[in-house]
Amino acid sequence: MKEILKLLKKDFQEKLSQAKSREEIENLERKYLGKKGKISKLTEKITESPPEERRELGKAINELKEELQKKIEEKYQSISVSKYRDPETERLDVTLPGKKTPVGHLHPVTQTIQEIEDIFHKLGFIRRRYPEVETDWYAFEGLNMPKNHPARDIWETFYIEKDMVLTPHTSSGQIREMERVGWPVRMINISRCDRRQSDINHLPTFYQFEGLVIDERINITHLKGTLDFFVHEFFGNERAYRLRPYDFRFTEPSFEIDVTCSLCGGKGCHYCKDGWVELGGAGMVHPQVLKNGGLDPKKVSGFAFGWGVERAFMKKGNLNIDDIRILYQNDLRFLEQF
């Protein structure tokens, strides 16, 4: 067996010295050190040797294996270095271009958050972030939502404990902001939210931005003007939007905000059906919510709106995205476009 090991080592060194490419080295590595290579076959034959010689033979085979592996690594290194050396002078050619380090970029959702923040900053809104795990009071009760409201159902909201939930909407920041600063308020709260929904328009975890303005004599014209500014800044002057009456318990009156579909230009398609797509809700802050936040609805009034960041991004023109879930599938073919 020892003689076989010497011959194998000699044969390996001769062939390794003749290898000129990485492919040839890899073939040698498989032939001698692979799972079905010559070293593995020798290891299997140890049991055929006398018991008193097995330990010594096993040690010799392992030492040979380590030696061959080291020589292969040295050969890989020499091949790698030789590619960058001038064949005549054997000196490093520093004029050869280096390898570019891959550079990433911000996720499109993060880019959208920054854009939204910049737009509202022009109107004097201050960026806030409130907890992603919330109490029932801030998430529902303080927002004038009754015990039997569908949003409080266990199939709609992620409950951690009886009175603790994963924040279902950024509206929970309204009461916290009133408690923190009183009034006046001009807040844009952008945070992560969670709901038990998943389809082409919904994600179980997503980002939402909540606008809240509270001051003396605030009315619907202020809300309308704010929405006009944002829609034209974010979507462009060619896009139209509408306020559609709705029932939100924390605003009165309340509206759904729709914008013309970016896929069909408002003509109607498989995604929007009638040319309009929903962005989110808005309305005048309900007097009871103002009271729950420690404010007097006879002295101040306000408006609020809350939209999904991902949904707003999808509605931008020329993107042709008809399934919101692609944003979090980590497909580089999609993400590298942004």
For the stretch 157-197, pLDDT in tens is: 999 988 899 999 999 999 999 999 999 999 999 999 999 98
What's the whole-number mean pLDDT along residues 300-323?
90
pLDDT, tens digit (0-9, with 9 covering 90-100), for 110-127: 999 999 999 999 999 999
CB 225 within 8 A of CB 247: no
Higher per-residue pLDDT: 286 or 277? 286
Give the CA-trace dihedral at 201, 207, 213, 219, to 10 degrees: 0
Higher per-residue pLDDT: 17 or 302? 302
pLDDT of 33 strictly over 60: yes
Q: Considering the chain, what percentage of its residues have pLDDT values greater than 70?
A: 96
Alpha-carbon span 295 to 150, nearest angstrom? 27
> Pairing between strand 126-128 and 185-194?
parallel
pLDDT of 308 strictly over 70: yes
Homologous superfamily of the 108-335 domain (CATH):
Bira Bifunctional Protein; Domain 2 (3.30.930.10)
Residue 138's pLDDT is what?
A: 96
Residue 87's pLDDT is what?
A: 54
Residue 62's pLDDT is what?
A: 86
**The three-state (H, E, C) secondary structure of 147-198, written as one string:** CCCHHHCCCCCCEEECCEEECCCHHHHHHHHHHHHCCCEEEEEEEEEECCCC
Residue 8's pLDDT is what?
A: 84
Higher per-residue pLDDT: 54 or 310? 310
Burial class (CB in 10 A: 0-12, 13-18, 19+), 117: middle
> Pairing between strand 126-128 and 164-166?
unpaired
How long a stretch of residues is the chain?
338
18, 84, 85, 93, 172 from 89: Cα distances, Å: 22, 12, 8, 10, 72
* 61 half-sphere exposure, CB direction, 13 A CA radius: 20
Question: Taking the complete model, does pTM exceed 0.75, yes or no?
Answer: no
| DSSP letter, residue 85 | B
Residue 141's pLDDT is what?
A: 95
Alpha-carbon span 338 to 328, nearest angstrom? 14
Output 42-49 pairs: Cβ under 8 A, ≥24 positions apart.
42/1, 42/4, 42/5, 42/8, 45/1, 49/1
> Pairing between strand 241-246 and 205-215?
unpaired
Among the residue ranges 5-9, 154-158, 160-164, 310-314, the one predicted with the least confidence is 5-9
Residue 82's pLDDT is what?
A: 58
Higher per-residue pLDDT: 322 or 326? 326
- H or E element: which one contains 310? helix 309-314
Among the residue ranges 44-48, 119-123, 312-316, the one predicted with the least confidence is 44-48
Alpha-carbon span 135 to 289, nearest angstrom? 16
Summary mean pLDDT of the chain = 89
CB count in 10 Å sphere of residue 217:
7
Residue 304's pLDDT is what?
A: 97
Neighbour-count burial for 276-312, b at 16+ CB within 10 Å, e otherwise: bbbbbbbbbbbeebbebbebeeeebbbbbbbbbbbbb
pLDDT of 280 strictly over 80: yes
Residue 224's pLDDT is what?
A: 96
Q: At what angle do helices 22-33 and 51-82 cross, to 10 degrees?
A: 170
What's the whole-number mean pLDDT along residues 233-247?
91
pLDDT of 136 strictly over 80: yes
pLDDT, tens digit (0-9, with 9 covering 90-100), for 59-109: 888 888 888 888 888 888 877 655 555 555 556 677 888 888 888 899 999
Residue 88's pLDDT is what?
A: 55
Contacts of 125 (CB under 8 A, 6+ apart): 186, 187, 188, 211
